[in-house]
Structure 1
Amino acid sequence: MKKRLVFLALAAIALASCNGGFTKGDGGMEYKILDDKSGPSIKEGDFISFNFIVKTDADSVLQSTYEKGQPIRMAVPKLTGKGNIMTPFSTFSEGDSAMIKVNIDSMSKGHPRPKELKGKFLVYVVKIEKVIAKGNLTDPVFQGRIQDYIKNISEEAKAKEPASIKKYIDDNKLKVTTTASGLNYVINQQGSGPLPATGDTIVVNYTGRFMNGKIFETSVKAEAIKNKMQINPMNPYKPIRFALGAPGMIQGFTEGFMLLNKGTKATLVIPSKLAYGDQGNQMMQAYTPLAFDVEVVDIIHPNPNAPKPAQPAMPTVQAPVKK
């Protein structure tokens, strides 16, 4: 279903580009409603949930909330500045889909234009999934309606999780072993030597995926290029190092590496209860299972006579670290 939604959104981009009919806004911004549903327009202070796809008019898709399964949820702010992408939202209502074109040069005025952005516009295809009007509601009632909506979405995701894990395992023909905690793993290449213990430093290459196969992070640059990911200049694309059992590491990551010795390549399919559970994080919604293709490059045993160093930061491992 998500692939179909992405396909339809991209088809809408092509159609709208051919047909024109855009309304011009400030700062070189243009917009056009593609599917107009009846209902009250969005107002400042309303809660909205929306999905979007963003691309340049001369390049491929840069980002898609459909692929992450994580729509944007927010209260509509007071709009300031010319060319603000949310300016047209006041003309939208629940169920609407629209295209918004933002002039890249206007958007980056006063700053160097990002080299990866080609063409004249950033093109957003937006679908308004839900609107909860603030109106005259008291804050407790308004927040209660928002929490009820989010709770229902989470419960739907929770109900779908077992099937999504099974589908990922079946689609990738993985012959997994399942631990008592629910971690699924398969050894793709057996290493040698002793298994790591709590306190050992693990040096690891990894590629993290959602259950739809989309990569959300990798330490392997060749993998990023192969999958046509945007190259993150802040990512050094080298094995990460972390102390096994360090506070904050998701349970499935810690448990999985205690099963792998040096040189082992494996796939870990981690249910949400061993990852980000019923809270999710900024990258993913609640009840999101994850898959990791990993390689244990090295296992470093601590020197009992060495002074205790501070735990190093791991800026490139956003997903495995529980917030």
Structure 2
Amino acid sequence: MKLKTKFLLMLAVIVTVVSSCSKDNYDPERQLAEDDALISEFITKNNIPAIKHSSGLYYQIITPGTGASVNETSYVGVNYEGKFLNGNVFDKSTSITKFYLTEVIEGWTKGVPLIKVGGRIRLIIPSTLAYKNQSRGSIPANSVLDFTIDLLQAQ
């Protein structure tokens, strides 16, 4: 009985050690480089006059807007459409959607303040500024996202 107990205890220790040694192979720097290559190819192929933000986000200001400026903590109302780089729509607002920019993905937090109320912007967001290596509903892990956003309100 003692031998069996020692064996089970040893087996439990080995399983714990081995499982704790398994690493998440996610490397954000490598993923950003992969995303950047995909985005560069996409904007070149589709003739999109996008600008690269210091964060790694690509953006195209379609209409700058003439209303109030917003910042990364503003409460905003928007209409938007989100697509993958293959053009498939994964989300689209059906009415004004309101939220604090601190409550959304980092790509939006960085990108939306680049326009004023009344403006429209296209954000091509690397996965490292979106959902990273996590799946979210119909959005697979490590997905580059392409949003068109109309900034309608700000408080």
TM-score normalised per structure 2? 0.74
SS at 2:107 equivalent: helix
Distance 2:149 2:109 in 1: 12
1:244 aligns with 2:101: yes
- Are 1:211 and 2:66 counterparts? no
Measure how far apart 1:274 and its partner are. Answer: 0.6
Identity %: 30
Measured in 1, the distance between the counterparts of 2:86 and 2:147 equals 13
Q: 1:160, CA displacement in angstroms?
A: 4.4
State the one-letter code of the partner of 1:289. Answer: V
Classify 1:198/1:273 alpha carbon distance in 2 versus 1 (closer, same or farther; 3 Å): closer
Q: Which residue of 2 aligns with 1:295?
A: 150
1:188 aligns with 2:62: yes
The one of 17, 23, 37 equivalent to 1:163 is 37
SS at match of 2:102: coil
2:105 is aligned with 1:253: no
Distance in 2, matches of 1:268 and 1:215, equals 14
Per-residue deviation, 1:199: 4.2
Q: CA deviation at 1:151?
A: 5.1
Equivalent-residue separation in structure 1 for 2:67 and 2:95 (angstroms): 23
Residue type at the aligned position of 2:49:
K
The residue that corresponds to 2:10 in the other structure is: none
8 Å Cα contact 2:71-2:113 kept in structure 1: yes
Give the helix-richer structure, 1 or 2: 2
Q: Distance in 2 between matches of 1:151 and 1:166?
A: 24
TM-score, with length taken from structure 1: 0.37
2:7 maps to what in 1?
Answer: none
Q: What letter matches 1:295 in structure 2?
A: D
Query: For each residue in 1:199-250, what CA deviation from the matched residue of structure 2 results, as whole angstroms up to 9, or x when unmatched?
Result: 432110100011111110111xxxxxxxxxxxxxxxxx1120112223xx21
Match of 1:8 in 2: none
AA partner of residue 252 (structure 1): G
Moved over 6 A (4+): none
- Provide the C-alpha distance between the structure 2 equivalents of 1:251 and 1:297, rounded to a whole number of angstroms: 20
CA distance in 2, matches of 1:165, 1:199: 27
Contact 1:168 1:212 survives alignment (8 Å):
no
Task: In structure 2, give the amino acid aligned to 1:217.
Answer: D
Residue type of the partner of 2:100?
A
CA contact (8 A) 1:195 1:260 kept: yes
Counterpart in 2 of 1:286?
Answer: 141
Which amino acid is the alignment partner of residue 206 of structure 1? Answer: Y
User: What's the offset of the Cα at 1:195?
Assistant: 1.4
Structure 2's unaligned 5+ residue stretches are 1-14
Which structure's relative contact order is higher, taking Cα pairs within 8 Å and 6+ residues apart? 2
* C-alpha distance in structure 2 between counterparts of 1:163 and 1:244, whole Å: 27
Distance 1:189 1:258 in 2: 13
Q: For 1:173, what is the secondary structure of its paired residue?
A: coil
Aligned-partner residue type, residue 82 of structure 2: G
Q: How far is the alpha carbon of 1:167 from its aligned partner?
A: 2.5
SS of equivalent to 1:168? helix
| Equivalent of 2:120 in 265, 282, 287 | 265
Q: CA RMSD in A?
A: 2.8
